[in-house]
């Protein structure tokens, strides 16, 4: 998911990175300026999730109000969201196990990674059945096995590529070069009025890129969500994040399609995230119940709780 191909390296080095240097981010919109406007939150009491702020399903944000003020419990989810959850768990568990094995000096990883992925897929789908109506379990299982095969093969091949190039490396250096990203990075977003336990899918280890995995259609708010993680990263580590990448994973004619959307985390994306954060915090803190939207999207999970 996070290995960048040669074409993407060219796009980054010839296009996005030079452009981010020519048009640097407005200093006021860097996460490390969390103590002053427009970064400082409306309230430090109400910690929000980055997804909760960015997601644009309900036009009036009544969805957040219902979740926070009415339901306060888990509700059934859609097959697409369930699919996304299972994919995340499979990918993160494969990378975790691969790193553990590489530290133990084991390099024939593929079969063991696939066995672990099979176990995770079965248990995740079994637990998702309770939450997702009309989940196509068999189809989802097959799709996740395809993802696991693809990822496990790439990981093993990357490890051997690095090992062949630098046969003298110890395990620590080999892991750093073979997995140049932190997966499931936990961030404390409280300086920005965000959750203390934000979880980023992956961040380039040497700084500068945040990755987020999605399945389904591209939507504008996906980039806004990555901008939210970038702001939290900057507030926590005081290091800049200029590039975001949404990795779209989908089924394609018996195979899979992985499409990475790289972009600069511009002032516009940052401002958009902050505006949404402030609006949501104000609405929830002032207990202002939003109106029912005039047009509700078909994929809203809250229809039956909303009226």
Contacts with ligand SF4, residue ranges (CB under 6 A): 58, 60, 62-63, 66, 292-293, 296-297, 300, 302-303, 306
C-beta of 75 vs 126, nearer to ligand SF4: 75
Distance of CA 241 to the CA centre of its chain: 15
Q: Which is nearer to ligand SF4, 115 or 303 (CB)?
A: 303
Q: Write down the least CB distance from residue 60 to ligand SF4, Å.
A: 6
What CA–CA distance (Å, rounded) separates 2 from 212? 9
CB of 189 to ligand SF4, least distance (A): 24
CA 67 remoteness from chain centre: 21
Give min distance, CB of 283 to ligand SF4, in A.
Answer: 13
Cα 180 to its chain centre, rounded Å, is 17
Output the smallest distance, CB 141 to ligand SF4, in A: 30
CA pseudo-torsion sign 302, 249, 275, 294: negative
Q: How far is the CB of 235 from ligand SF4 (least distance, A)?
A: 30
DSSP state of 24: P
Of 24 and 297, CB closest to ligand SF4:
297
- Tokens standing for residue 36: 């002053």
Minimum distance from residue 295 beta carbon to ligand SF4 (Å): 8
Indicate the length of the chain as a whole number: 307
**Rounded distance, CA 63 to CA 302, Å?**
7
Handedness of CA 110, 116, 117, 119 (dihedral sign): positive
Contacts of 247 (CB under 8 A, 6+ apart): 1, 2, 201, 211, 212, 213, 214, 258, 259, 260, 261
Q: Shortest distance, CB of residue 62 to ligand SF4, whole angstroms?
A: 4
Instruction: Between 38 and 216, name the residue whose CB sits nearer to ligand SF4.
Output: 216
Give whichever of 142 and 289 is closer to ligand SF4, judged by the CB atom: 289
Q: Are 51 and 107 in contact (CB under 8 A)?
A: no
Of 168 and 217, which CB lies nearer to ligand SF4 in the complex structure?
217
- List alpha helices for 23-136, DSSP H: 50-54, 62-65, 79-103, 110-128
Q: Between 36 and 307, whose beta carbon lies closer to ligand SF4?
A: 307
| In the complex, minimum distance from the CB of residue 222 to ligand SF4, in angstroms, rounded to a whole number | 18
Q: Which residues contact 285 (CB under 8 A, 6 or more apart)?
A: 42, 43, 45, 46
Alpha-carbon distance of 263 to 275, in angstroms, equals 20
d(CA 94, CA 32): 33
Choose between 56 and 258: whose C-beta lies nearer to ligand SF4.
Answer: 56
């Amino acid at each position: 998911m996070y290995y960048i191909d040669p074409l993407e390296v060219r796009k980054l080095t010839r296009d996005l990175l030079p452009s981010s240097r020519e048009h640097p981010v407005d200093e006021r919109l860097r996460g490390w300026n969390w103590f002053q406007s427009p970064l400082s939150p409306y309230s430090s009491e109400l910690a929000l999730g980055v997804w909760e702020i960015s997601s644009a399903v309900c036009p009036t944000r009544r969805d957040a109000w219902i979740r926070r003020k009415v339901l306060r419990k888990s509700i059934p989810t859609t097959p697409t969201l369930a699919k996304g959850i299972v994919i995340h768990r499979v990918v993160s568990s494969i990378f975790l196990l691969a790193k553990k094995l590489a530290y133990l000096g084991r390099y024939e990883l593929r079969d063991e990674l696939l066995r672990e992925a099979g176990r995770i897929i079965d248990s995740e789908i079994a637990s998702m059945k309770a939450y997702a109506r009309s989940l196509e379990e068999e189809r989802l299982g097959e799709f996740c096995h395809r993802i696991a095969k693809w990822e496990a093969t790439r990981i093993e091949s990357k490890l051997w590529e690095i090992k062949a190039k630098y046969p003298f490396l110890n395990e620590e250096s080999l892991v750093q070069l073979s997995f140049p990203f932190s997966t499931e990075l936990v961030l404390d977003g409280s300086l920005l009025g965000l959750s203390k336990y934000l979880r980023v899918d992956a961040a380039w280890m040497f700084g500068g890129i945040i990755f987020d995995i999605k399945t389904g259609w591209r939507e504008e708010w996906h980039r806004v969500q990555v901008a939210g993680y970038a702001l939290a990263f900057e507030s926590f580590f005081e290091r800049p994040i200029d590039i975001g990448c949404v990795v779209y994973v989908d089924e394609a004619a018996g195979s899979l399609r992985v499409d990475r959307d790289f972009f600069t985390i511009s002032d516009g994306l940052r401002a958009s995230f902050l505006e949404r954060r402030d609006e949501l915090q104000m609405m929830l803190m002032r207990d202002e119940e939003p109106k029912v939207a005039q047009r509700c999207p078909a994929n809203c999970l809250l229809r039956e709780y909303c009226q």
